[in-house]
Structure 1
Amino acid sequence: MLQTGVSSSDLQSVGYDATTCTLEIKFHSGGIYHYFKVPEAIYRGLMAASSHGKYFHAYIKDLYFYQKIALKTAQ
């Protein structure tokens, strides 16, 4: 999934698969998560938000089923 870096103290990058409506978020804290059945409008709202972290907490976190898929690897 293609990732786009975002300017956020919490989120590192965001990706979206419109075919499966899966949102992928990499966090600075180390986790990579998939959020399922996320409408494209929510993804677009996240990417357009002035605060990606605030938008994530208000409109995505705890509202969509998610799965932690990986830990961030050391670089």
Structure 2
Amino acid sequence: MNDKGSEKDGLGADGDAFYEALMAAHEGLDEAQGHALNARLVLLMANEIGDMTALAAILRTARKFND
């Protein structure tokens, strides 16, 4: 996603590497621990982005997948 919350692939060639690292971070965790890790990741990434407009757009884009 870009700063407007689009579905653009901002990771490019690193997308697969990030997914592998994310799965490795979850390795050995039970479901509750995995949810807690995801929550921490969301908050850490939101802090890194640091732009409420961009974060709101990202939330809207992510929510579309559940509608």
TM-score by length of 1: 0.25
Greater share of residues in strand: 1
**Greater RCO (CA < 8 Å, at least 6 residues apart):** 2
- Bigger radius of gyration: 2
